[in-house]
Amino acid sequence: MIDFLRGTAVYTESDHVVLDVHGVGYRAYCPNPYQFQTGKEYTVYMHHHVREDAILLYGFGTREEQKLFRTLLDVNGIGPRVALGMLAGSRPEAVIAAIQQENVTFLTKLPGIGKKTAQRILLDLKDKVGSLYDSDAGIGDFAELRSLNDPDLQDPSSNWAGAREGLLALGFSDEEIREAWRKLQAEISADASVDQLMKQALKQLYKA
């Protein structure tokens, strides 16, 4: 099993990065592939997924993301794509805090997670996720990440509101997010999903 790869990022797309490792290109599907700048060397932590019709690699910038991804796969009904979408929508510590605090509202704002799936996550993982971190540093800041009183988040039908919350959870400032939104408005379609908006915004933010 491949646990990590160290190589140079040679190509990024909306859902993956290609690493050159001693002349071999490995495609790794990532939560936020634009964090890997082409031409730079990275250590990427891997999940090696084998199924009947494909062998796939999922890559993460930190060991914590890798651990949480694998833990999410233990939940019935959550496959690699859904788990990847959850990590694209928030930081690992925010997802863990939401599970520990049984915050269904936060979980259902993540891509691909409905209320029933969120409840299943809480049931299966509430007593397990605490062991994913050596300490709970940063977990106490979870309430600040939610920003539920922000006027932009009052309309649950607003896909940008969901994308914006995910970007806040990733640590971007309001000013950075507003600037990315300003640049995106002329490019995106009116029916763009939360996932699509986040990927486009991240592309803009990592260019900055």
| pLDDT value for 190 | 66
* 72-105 residue pLDDT tens: 999 998 999 999 989 987 788 888 888 988 999 8
Q: Tell me if the domain spanning 63-139 has CATH number 3.40.50.300.
A: no
| pLDDT value for 146 | 38
What CA–CA distance (Å, rounded) separates 153 from 147?
8
Q: Do domains 4-60 and 63-139 have the same CATH topology?
A: no
Q: Tell me if the domain spanning 4-60 has CATH number 1.10.510.10.
A: no
Mean local confidence (pLDDT), 156-176: 70
SS3 (DSSP) at 91: coil
pTM for this model (two decimals): 0.67
Output DSSP code: residue 146: H
- Give percent of the chain with pLDDT exceeding 90: 37
Q: What does pLDDT average to over the chain?
A: 81
What CA–CA distance (Å, rounded) separates 103 from 107?
7
Mean local confidence (pLDDT), 184-195: 74
Q: Is the pLDDT assigned to residue 153 strictly greater than 80?
A: no
What CA–CA distance (Å, rounded) separates 152 from 134?
35
Q: In 3-state terms, the chain is what percent helix, strand and coil (to 5)? A: 50, 20, 35
What CA–CA distance (Å, rounded) separates 9 from 17?
7
Q: CA gyration radius for the chain?
A: 17
For the chain, give every domain's residue range.
Answer: 4-60, 63-139, 147-207
Mean local confidence (pLDDT), 150-174: 62
| pLDDT value for 151 | 35
| 66 class by beta-carbon count within 10 Å (0-12 exposed, 13-18 middle, 19+ buried) | buried
